[in-house]
Structure 1
């Protein structure tokens, strides 16, 4: 079921027209469908039925407080990669014991903040981090529950910038060195090893890489238990893909069938950390056409959203479907064009060489599948304010992150005293 559809010639988010939101909040803006978020969660939760498993939402995909709160109310924990995300999770109502702290570069002060908050699990990614965490836990007089993230050296067959499970990636401890790391952890008095973690990449559209990785980690768990370690948890991570263009990602049921088969008899509590799969297709970016600029080589449709608002096309060569907010006639002609923004960079585009119905100044467009790695990766480059985020639920909507004013942006900066003008 799509929660973004044309009705009476106008694109709706559930029961609200995108044009009416634009009239009230201005453009560009992100729009999230609460119904789509709930539906994605339900598919995942239904797929886990009968399994000893839990979901910790990967906040890096979309950390808006309203989104995190919605998942938390349905039972999600949070997978975080910074103290800032931890503070967001707590502010959204996620209990500390349902928070997992991941990431390759945690400072001692950050580890201390996590332990003081009472996070339920820390995923350690290096032997050096084991030593640091042990020292910090000792200072606080606590014992830290940890898993060690291993790198299974499996090709996730996804974009090079979002694969995380190969030996050349910075994440985790090489699986061939994992037993040594677990032995070290077992000797450190302030750590309690509770399990093994993995995460092999993002936007995976096949289940075979998961199967290969789970098989390798399952063998490791058997070895670790032989070594005397008590392994009760297997954190499988996330990474399931969504539809951007013509992908056919596996269903949750298909994915869960693979997990259930390959972990049968392992006697571990499983943790899943979906991010993109829960929020990606539940969000869109809405932008207004500023002008159309015909050229000898191609036509440029210049819109008010830019690479600072959605960097995925520039950073990952990512495809996002783009549609007019007002439904075109079935027989409407198309033009070959680039959809570009106002930023002073040649890489500032949302799409290139697209065939779209003719557009004119003032028209609105919708960029699909923008709920993940959209707003969270945005910036204020060219002193462009971060754009609003809106959540729709049925026939109502609310701004869940307002657009800051230029004055608010400037007020966060300071002129050094020696540059201040001397008053007479």
Structure 2
């Protein structure tokens, strides 16, 4: 469910006509719904009711400060994967004891900043990382709370580029050998072993891979406790998918996901962390674009819009589907015809959809890409020297620009020319 609905024939973001936002900020732009973000966070929070838990928003899906502040004020923790994300989470008002630091390539500088600024835990992904963290913690006179990320060798049944829990993936420590690594960690003066971390992938549409992975985590918890470790926290990652194609069967609900967690690890008495990103922010945002031209080609027509692959890379990178709709609702009786929806970037890969049935559209008409709140703005670039596009947050009948579009001068002036040129 989201809060982007037609009223009087015009798509609204909550109570704001999308046409009003377009007139104020220009296209293309992202717009997020406060009501949808709030609802989706609470769905996860309620799914784990009765368990000691923390819902940590995976900010790699959407790192805007306003979004982080909104979720943080509701009690969310934040899952970060870089120093920049850590500092943005802190800038949004999230305290260090609610920030989890994940990622396979943490540097010593990142470790130092997080230890000095406060951190809930590091999810450690390798033995070299563990050794480096121990050394940094000792140099600061502190201990670093850690969970080892274990790789359970479970097929998440998702896109190969976002699967993270199989043995050939770069993530985590093989579950078959991790007891030895836990023993090493426990002997380190700068390390405090608090739990286990697992994350098997993103955009999962079935519960069975979660069940398999969490069952392995439960067995490992009991084995590690038998080895003398005080395992008191389980970070079960995120990955629950969203319905990008509304005609398809919907993925499992957070409530069903929560039941799997309770069934597999609920008996262990551990605090549970989960790290949803896409399901909280994905359907909470849309990308709005204007039609530039309708180009009639040989055997196909092209709808050329002012958004491009640098603004929303998912279709180009993952062959991802986004529903694309006219902002002004087409009458039911209007005939639709197939068009390729493309952007202006000089790459054939700058294609959002092929042979997509759309109502008649003309230059200046607005279209909306649904389910664009996750991995949209955060993955954008200035390819072809196209400025990053604005982000807008709606709250009821109000809206505010939460990241402005840079001017061309601002973009150009970031470069410097050396004296010898």
Q: TM-score range, shorter-chain basis?
A: over 0.9
Counterpart in the other structure of 2:55: 55
For 1:298 and 1:352, locate their aligned partners in 2 and report how far apart those are by CA, in whole Å.
9
- 8 Å CA contact retained: 1:205, 1:247: no
Q: Deviations over 1:96-129 (max 9, x none)?
A: 1110000000111111111111111111000010
Counterpart in the other structure of 1:330: 332
Counterpart in the other structure of 1:266: 268
Counterpart in the other structure of 2:402: 400
What is the deviation of 1:320? 0.3
1:158 aligns with 2:155: no
- 8 Å CA contact retained: 2:95, 2:118: no
SS in 2 for 1:176: coil
- 8 Å CA contact retained: 2:340, 2:351: yes
What is the deviation of 1:52? 1.1
SS in 1 for 2:236: strand
**More off after superposition, 169-178 vs 1-10:** 1-10
Counterpart in the other structure of 2:252: 250
- 8 Å CA contact retained: 1:154, 1:213: yes
- 8 Å CA contact retained: 2:51, 2:266: no
Counterpart in the other structure of 2:25: 25
Match 2:343 to one of 337, 341, 345: 341
SS in 1 for 2:177: helix
- What are the equivalent positions in structure 2 for 1:8-407 lying under 5 Å apart? 8-245=8-245, 246-407=248-409
- 8 Å CA contact retained: 2:292, 2:364: yes
What is the deviation of 1:44? 1.3
- 8 Å CA contact retained: 2:303, 2:339: yes
SS in 2 for 1:243: coil
Q: Deviations over 1:291-340 (max 9, x none)?
A: 00011121000000000000000000000000000011101111111110
- 8 Å CA contact retained: 2:32, 2:284: yes
RMSD: 0.8
What is the deviation of 1:247? 4.1
Q: Deviations over 1:219-254 (max 9, x none)?
A: 111111111111000000101100101242101111
TM-score norm. by structure 2 comes to: 0.98
TM-score norm. by structure 1 comes to: 0.98
Q: Deviations over 1:39-66 (max 9, x none)?
A: 1112111112111111111000000001
Instruction: Give the unaligned 5+ runs of structure 2.
Output: none
Aligned pairs, number: 419
Detail structure 1 runs of 4+ shifted over 2 Å in the superposition: none
Instruction: Give the unaligned 5+ runs of structure 1.
Output: 420-424
What is the deviation of 1:217? 1.2
